[in-house]
């Protein structure tokens, strides 16, 4: 009885928070879900896409019972086994990721509410009515003001606490339930990201309802070294926006350079197209050590933990602007501005300043005072050669390189043969961690020598545009669902690449083939860091529209919510299914009918883990680069053996399709070539029309021939339902192959869904438009 009362109280509370009485859509079965609400959906996904664990460690070291050895079926002192331990760590990673984005959202919201008031209207422009697809779908709330976004943030905060609790020693013991929790919190990561970016768009006046955003400068060579230079690093734009405001207000805009690394760069260029993108995270240490920056301003996430040391090495002044990373610096928030400037200039002291306006003023004034005294020339070839001469090619640098190459070979080539070719190639593969230099027994300044290897090229990048417009969704909803636009490919995430040029090459390949290519974060930057023979990059060659052959930069990490948001909008605007508290139906539609695939080729962080896992719960498969096996867990199927049955929603009959589409939910590709072939395959959906399927298979086969050395893919027969699915160009060859293996045609499913194939409150009819 008491339990029933509690359920009723919770329901009433949810109804109050989402204003259930406002009938913009009927409230679906799972508004503001807690963990159990979507557990059956997760278990159904995990039945086909089984967790594949690659333990990074044999032990559990989390409590004082341990260390516990978990090899050969052993359990820890608390009873946990190796699978549950891996899943537990995956959940922890996803919680860290979600908390980063959501806390970013909370901070920026607080800042913007103070600036504009809580009742500031959410207006995403005239082309966007579905303003918050993730929040609408998950919470059942249609946010109208900044303060409404707080409801979303507070809900995610509550769930983070609840799930972090489950990681404690002696709590959850099932790997499947840990995975369900990871899927849950990662779904909420997209809610947190969406709240953060909507707040930013509304509060900072970022571009919205527009495709053609400004082209901005990118690359270290775009910085005018004769001017004072402020480098902003991280993800949170509060302070960098204040810097721009200060420069504008004081007529200094032409006199000071503002450039960014990582997502703050993308955010700042959404605010001002005169700011510059220096580069992705992998170029952070390299740029710091050039000494070009006079003032370095950190905010949060993916900023180096040794920033004060690095700043001191070049004589730059560091200002930490958020309490998440204060580096043990004195908190000067309450100190007099002129006194901070004096100490920073005269004593090169670093400070934490948590008031964005004050931090901005200090940064500009300090940069202007110290810039004239700074030496800002890159080293010459002769100097590089001399420094390289110290190297004995002992190989220690290779031993510590996370990308597994020997920078020593490149250094030796310079010293012995005055040949910079190898180190130029190595610079493309360098992820910028600096471990080689730290390990070097001869203290060779590798990053300094790299200045000669680094390209002096500069590029343009299209400023992040935020959400995909409803009008665009209206145009492409049908061709995506039918398959005639062969897929939406989202390149996202960090810059832990096997080779930095991989992304540009993949973007080019798929844009050329008329896929819709979407980009965010560091991937959006490096996509533009390669010019063709005519000196143009992908942003200059392809239209910025969310349409076949378009290349769309949505923005920073938190803008990833607009990518899942676009998928959700297809379900709502094209398929006309309600979103409100209707997550299962929306995810089912995406899984079975929407040809989309994420590629986090350089995924490094916990945030990338939660972004990807959030896509997975929504039914979007994700490809990771080879380093990402270290995330410990993939979701893989065994295509020939797994359960590919679906319900045909029209006939209400279970159909065994035998078709592994999408084949995996998270998959690691060993090489770029393999990724080129896996992307088109993961865009295949059971809903494809014969015409759409033929287009998709055409790309699958032709990319296979191009990158895998000819022939036909071994699993091609699994994706050919009828003769009409075979692309015309390969008709003869494929027919011969199918005859050889005694292939039999099968009928396509009218309206594929997995609703109805597992216990759920959702009726099969609810997936029908």
Partner 1 sequence: MSATVPLHRVNVLTGIKSARQIEDPAEYGRLIKKAKRPLLVLGPLLIEWSLNGKPLLEYALEIAMGTNIPIPICATAHVKGRMSELGVKPASEYDVVEIINALKDPDWMGVKKEGNHDLVIFFGIRSDLGEQGLSVLKHFAPHLKTMTLCRFYFPNADYSLPNIRKDEQWKEFLETLIADLKGKE
DSSP string, 216-245: EEESGGGS-TTS-EEEEESS--HHHHHHHH
Distance CA 423, CA 411 (A): 7
How many angstroms separate the CA atoms of 264 and 96, rounded?
19
Number of neighbours of residue 88 by Cβ within 10 angstroms: 25
* DSSP structural state of residue 323: T
Q: CB–CB of 318/326 below 8 Å?
A: no
Residue 708 interacting with partner 1 (CB under 8 A): yes
Which residue stretch of 117-125, 349-357, 401-409, 566-574 sits at the interface with partner 1 (rule: CB under 8 A)?
Answer: 401-409
Out of 638, 650, 652, 731, name the contact with partner 1 by CB under 8 A. Answer: 638
707 binds partner 1 (CB under 8 A): yes
DSSP 145: B
> How many residues line the site for partner 1 (CB under 8 A)?
40
| 627 binds partner 1 per the rule CB under 8 A | yes
Stretch that binds partner 1, among 29-37, 116-124, 454-462, 662-670 (CB under 8 A): 662-670
- Asked if 742 is part of the footprint of partner 1 (rule: CB under 8 A), the reply reads no
CA angle in degrees (0–180, nearest 5) for 12-14-17: 110
Is residue 241 within 8 A of residue 232, CB to CB? The reply is no
Closer of 82 and 503 to partner 1 (Cβ): 82
Q: Which of residues 317-346 bind partner 1 (CB under 8 A)?
A: none
**Residue 542, token pair as written in the block:** 């392809």
Tokens standing for residue 434: 């600096």
How far apart, in whole angstroms, are the C-alpha atoms of residue 539 and residue 543?
A: 7
Binding-site member from 52, 253, 378, 743 for partner 1 (CB under 8 A): 52
Element containing residue 132 per DSSP (H, E): none
List, in order, residues 6 or more apart from 297 with CB less than 8 Å away: 230, 231, 232, 233, 239, 240, 243, 318, 319, 320, 321, 359, 363
Q: Which is nearer to partner 1, 170 or 395 (CB)?
A: 395
Q: Is 441 in the site for partner 1 (CB under 8 A)?
A: no
CB of 617 to partner 1, least distance (A): 21
Q: Are 510 and 502 in contact (CB under 8 A)?
A: no
Q: Is 717 in the site for partner 1 (CB under 8 A)?
A: no
Query: How many angstroms separate the CA atoms of 197 and 102, rounded?
Result: 10
What's the closest the beta carbon of residue 48 comes to partner 1, in angstroms? 13
- Does 619 bind partner 1 (CB under 8 A)? Our answer is no
Q: Which is nearer to partner 1, 643 or 747 (CB)?
A: 643
**Nearest residue (CB) to partner 1, 218 versus 599:** 599
List the interface residues with partner 1, window 663-692 (CB under 8 A).
667-671, 673-674, 678
What φ, ψ does residue 391 adopt, rounded to 5°?
Answer: -70, 135
257 - beta bridge partners?
A: 229
Minimum distance of partner 1 from residue 429's CB (angstroms)? 12
The least distance separating partner 1 from the CB of residue 301, rounded to whole angstroms, comes to 22
Q: Does 626 bind partner 1 (CB under 8 A)?
A: yes
DSSP three-state, residue 357: helix
Beta strands in 70-166 (DSSP E): none
Single out the segment in contact with partner 1 by CB under 8 A; choices: 65-73, 105-113, 210-218, 342-350.
65-73
Nearer to partner 1, 389 or 402 (CB): 402
8 Å CB contact between 213 and 463:
yes
391 binding partner 1? (CB under 8 A): no
Q: Which residues pair with 60 in a beta bridge?
A: 68
Pure H helices in 594-689? 606-617, 672-682
Smallest distance, Å, CB 227 to partner 1? Answer: 40
Question: Does 56 sit near partner 1 (CB under 8 A)?
Answer: yes
Q: Is 540 exposed, middle or buried (0-12, 13-18, 19+ CB in 10 A)?
A: middle
User: How many residues in the chain?
Assistant: 769
- Residue 50 CB, shortest distance to partner 1, in Å, is 8
- Which of 25/58 has CB closer to partner 1? 58
Strand, helix or coil for residue 668 = strand
Q: Does 446 bind partner 1 (CB under 8 A)?
A: no
Q: Which of the 8 DSSP states describes residue 38?
A: G
Among 33, 41, 49, 53, binds partner 1 (CB under 8 A): 53
Residue 151 vs 716, nearer CB to partner 1: 716
Candidates 34, 37, 43, 55; binder of partner 1 (CB under 8 A) is 55
- Report the alpha-carbon distance of residue 406 to residue 386 in Å, rounded: 19
Q: Applying CB under 8 A, which part among 27-35, 68-76, 162-170, 447-455 lies near partner 1?
A: 68-76
Cβ within 8 Å of residue 226, ≥6 positions away: none
Residue 180 vs 678, nearer CB to partner 1: 678
60 binds partner 1 (CB under 8 A): no
Task: Please choose, from the candidates 220, 93, 215, 229, the residue with its C-alpha nearest in 3D space to the C-alpha of residue 163.
Answer: 93
Answer yes or no whether residue 59 interacts with partner 1 by CB under 8 A. yes
- CB-nearer residue toward partner 1: 563 or 623: 623
Which listed residue (10, 158, 168, 399) binds partner 1 by CB under 8 A? 399
232 binds partner 1 (CB under 8 A): no
Could you say whether residue 404 binds partner 1 (CB under 8 A)?
A: yes
Binding mask 164-183 for partner 1 (x = CB under 8 A): --------------------
Nearest distance, CB of residue 598 and partner 1, angstroms: 17
Judged by CB under 8 A, the chain residues 522 through 541 that form the site for partner 1 are none
Rg, Å, the chain Cα set: 26
Residue 372, CB-side half-sphere exposure with 13 Å CA sphere: 4
Distance CA 659, CA 645 (A): 9
Residue 641: CB minimum distance to partner 1, A: 9
End-to-end Cα, the chain, rounded Å: 39
- 72 binding partner 1? (CB under 8 A): yes
> Of the listed pieces 138-146, 192-200, 310-318, 395-403, which binds partner 1 according to CB under 8 A?
395-403
Among 570, 612, 564, 624, which residue's Cα sits nearest to residue 593?
570
The stretch among 56-64, 302-310, 573-581, 612-620 that binds partner 1 (CB under 8 A) is 56-64
Q: Choose the binding region for partner 1 from 156-164, 296-304, 391-399, 562-570 (rule: CB under 8 A).
A: 391-399
Q: Which stretch binds partner 1 (CB under 8 A): 480-488, 527-535, 564-572, 621-629?
A: 621-629
Q: Give me the least distance between CB of 556 and partner 1, in Å please.
A: 28
Residues 6+ apart with CB under 8 A from 228: 255, 256, 257, 294, 295, 364, 367, 368, 370, 371
User: Cα 723 to the chain's mean position, in Å?
Assistant: 38
Contact residue for partner 1 among 66, 357, 389, 402 (CB under 8 A)? 402
User: Which one of 12, 69, 119, 212 is in contact with partner 1 (CB under 8 A)?
Assistant: 69
Q: Does 709 bind partner 1 (CB under 8 A)?
A: yes
253 binds partner 1 (CB under 8 A): no
DSSP 468: P
Give the whole-angstrom CA distance, residue 280 versus residue 261.
Answer: 6
* Minimum gap (Å) between residue 436 Cβ and partner 1: 11
77 is a contact residue toward partner 1 (CB under 8 A): no
Q: Which of 283, 241, 242 is nearest to 261 (CA)?
A: 283
Binding site for partner 1 (CB under 8 A): 52-59, 69, 71-72, 82, 395, 398-402, 404, 626-627, 629-630, 634, 636, 638, 667-671, 673-674, 678, 707-711, 714
């Amino acid at each position: 009885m008491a339990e029933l009362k509690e359920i009723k109280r919770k329901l009433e509370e949810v109804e109050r928070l989402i204003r259930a009485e406002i009938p913009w859509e009927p409230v679906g079965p799972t508004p503001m879900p807690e963990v159990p609400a979507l557990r059956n959906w997760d278990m159904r996904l995990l039945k086909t896409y089984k967790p594949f664990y690659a333990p990074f460690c044999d032990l559990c070291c989390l409590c004082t019972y341990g260390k516990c050895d978990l090899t050969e079926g052993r359990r820890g002192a608390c009873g946990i086994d190796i699978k549950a331990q891996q899943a537990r760590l995956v959940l922890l990673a996803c919680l860290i990721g979600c908390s980063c984005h959501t806390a970013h959202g909370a901070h920026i919201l607080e800042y913007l509410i103070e600036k504009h008031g809580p009742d500031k209207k959410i207006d995403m422009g005239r082309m966007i009515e579905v303003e918050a697809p993730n929040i609408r779908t998950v919470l059942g709330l249609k946010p109208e003001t900044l303060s409404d976004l707080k409801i979303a943030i507070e809900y995610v905060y509550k769930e983070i606490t609840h799930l972090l609790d489950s990681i404690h020693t002696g709590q959850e013991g099932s790997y499947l339930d840990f995975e369900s929790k990871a899927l849950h919190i990662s779904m909420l990561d997209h809610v947190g990201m969406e709240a953060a970016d909507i707040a930013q768009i509304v509060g900072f006046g970022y571009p919205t309802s527009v495709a053609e955003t400004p082209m901005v400068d990118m690359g270290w060579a775009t910085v005018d070294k004769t001017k004072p230079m402020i480098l902003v690093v991280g993800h949170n734009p509060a302070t960098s926006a204040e810097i721009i405001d200060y420069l504008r207000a004081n007529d200094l805009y032409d006199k000071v350079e503002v450039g960014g690394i990582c997502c703050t760069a993308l955010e700042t260029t959404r605010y001002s197209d005169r700011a510059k993108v220096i580069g992705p995270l992998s170029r952070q240490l390299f740029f710091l050590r050039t000494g070009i920056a006079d003032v370095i301003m950190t905010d949060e996430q993916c900023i180096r933990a040794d920033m004060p040391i690095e700043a001191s090495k070049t004589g730059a002044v560091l200002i930490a602007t958020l309490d998440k990373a204060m580096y043990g610096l004195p908190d000067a928030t309450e100190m007099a501005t002129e006194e901070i400037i004096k100490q920073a200039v005269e004593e090169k002291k670093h400070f934490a300043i948590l008031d964005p306006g004050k931090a901005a003023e200090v940064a500009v004034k300090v940069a202007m005072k110290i810039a004239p005294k700074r030496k800002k020339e890159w080293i010459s070839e002769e100097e590089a050669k001399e420094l390289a001469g110290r190297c004995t090619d002992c190989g220690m640098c290779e031993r510590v390189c996370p990308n597994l190459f020997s920078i020593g070979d490149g250094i030796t080539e310079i010293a012995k043969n005055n040949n910079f070719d190898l180190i130029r190639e190595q610079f493309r593969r360098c992820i910028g961690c600096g471990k080689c230099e730290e390990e070097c027994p001869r203290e060779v300044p590798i990053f300094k020598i790299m200045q000669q290897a680094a390209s002096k090229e500069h590029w343009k990048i299209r400023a992040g545009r935020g959400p995909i417009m409803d009008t665009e969704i209206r145009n492409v909803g049908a061709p995506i669902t039918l398959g005639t636009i062969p897929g939406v490919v989202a390149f996202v995430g960090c810059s832990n690449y096997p080779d930095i040029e991989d992304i540009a090459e993949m973007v080019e390949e798929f844009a050329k083939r008329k896929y819709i290519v979407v980009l965010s974060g560091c991937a959006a930057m490096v996509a533009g860091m390669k010019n063709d023979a005519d000196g143009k990059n992908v942003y200059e060659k392809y239209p910025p529209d969310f349409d076949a052959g378009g290349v769309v930069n949505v923005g920073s990490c938190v803008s990833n919510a607009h990518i899942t948001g676009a998928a959700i909008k297809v379900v709502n605007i094209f398929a006309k299914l309600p979103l409100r508290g209707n997550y299962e139906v929306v995810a089912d539609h995406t899984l079975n009918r929407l040809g989309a695939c994420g590629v986090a080729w350089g995924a490094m962080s916990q945030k990338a883990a939660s972004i990807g896992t959030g896509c997975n719960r929504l039914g979007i498969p994700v490809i990771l680069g080879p380093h990402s096996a270290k995330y410990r867990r993939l979701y893989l199927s065994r295509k020939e053996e797994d359960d590919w049955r679906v319900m045909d929603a029209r006939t209400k009959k279970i159909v065994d399709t035998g078709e592994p589409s999408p084949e995996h939910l998270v998959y690691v590709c060993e090489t770029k070539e393999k990724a080129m072939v896996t992307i088109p395959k993961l865009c295949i959906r059971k809903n494809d029309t014969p015409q759409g399927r033929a287009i998709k298979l055409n790309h699958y086969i032709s990319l296979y021939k191009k990158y895998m050395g000819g022939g036909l893919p071994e699993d091609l027969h699994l994706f050919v339902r009828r003769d009409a699915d075979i692309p015309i160009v390969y008709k003869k060859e494929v027919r011969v192959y199918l005859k050889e293996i005694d292939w039999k045609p099968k009928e396509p499913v009218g309206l594929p869904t997995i609703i109805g194939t597992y216990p759920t409150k959702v009726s099969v009819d609810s997936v029908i438009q």
